[in-house]
Amino acid sequence: MRIRRHPLVLAVAFALAGPALAAGPCEAEIDSTDAMQFTKATLSVPASCKQFKVTLKHVGKLPKAAMGHNWVLAKTSDLAGVASDGIAAGLPNDYLKPGDARVIAATKIIGGGESASVSFDVAKLKAGEAYSYFCSFPGHSGIMKGTLTLAK
């Protein structure tokens, strides 16, 4: 016996499955937690995208002053310097040195239940270059990080 799937049933199923299935190839969603974790350790950006959008959700409950998170993209070689320089910038600057040219993209710091998005020009990425994303909240970048690659 063959089961036929009605288009409306499929549409409802995709809607209920959430944004992970609904996100297009030029965007990604990442959750962050009160346990200082991103839910994705890697992201692949298609070279065919002109812009890439990242939406960060804080699925924890703690406020941003206690356990805030952001999503910052930089060359892997710049991660430590960006994170270190950001500490002095403080929460009002989302723990990022104002005007830091090493930062390719960054969201604002968010607390539990909040979300933030950032889009960046994919042309800023170079094939073969190592990129990392991380949280610049003090002490988080050591474990709260991932790698981003430019896919062909």
For 92-136, what is each residue's pLDDT tens digit? Answer: 999 999 999 999 999 999 999 999 999 999 999 999 999 999 999
Which residue(s) pair with 32 in the sheet? 38, 58
Q: Which of 8-22, 44-58, 59-73, 109-123 has the lowest mean pLDDT?
A: 8-22
Cβ neighbours around 18 below 10 Å, total: 10
Which residue(s) pair with 147 in the sheet? 42, 132
Whether pLDDT at 56 is above 90 = yes
Q: Which of 16-20, 26-30, 112-116 has the lowest mean pLDDT?
A: 16-20
Q: What CATH number did the domain enclosing 50 receive?
A: 2.60.40.420
Q: Average pLDDT, whole number, for the chain? A: 88
Q: Has residue 113 been placed in a domain?
A: yes
Residues of the chain above pLDDT 90, percent: 84
Split at pLDDT 50, 70, 90, the class of 64 is very high
Q: Has residue 16 been placed in a domain?
A: no
Whether pLDDT at 4 is above 90 = no
User: According to the model, what pLDDT value does residue 23 have?
Assistant: 63
Q: Has residue 34 been placed in a domain?
A: yes
| Arithmetic mean of pLDDT, 74-80 | 98
Query: Total domain count for the chain?
Result: 1
Whether pLDDT at 5 is above 90 = no
CA–CA gap between residue 96 and residue 79 (Å, rounded): 11
Cβ neighbours around 94 below 10 Å, total: 21
Element (H, E) at 121: strand 115-121
Q: Has residue 6 been placed in a domain?
A: no
What 3 state SS string does 39-87 have? CCCEEEEECCCCEEEEEEEECCCCCHHHHCECCEEEEHHHHHHHHHHHH
Q: Has residue 38 been placed in a domain?
A: yes
Range of the domain at 146: 24-151
Q: Has residue 18 been placed in a domain?
A: no
Q: Has residue 19 been placed in a domain?
A: no
Residues of the chain above pLDDT 70, percent: 85
Split at pLDDT 50, 70, 90, the class of 25 is very high
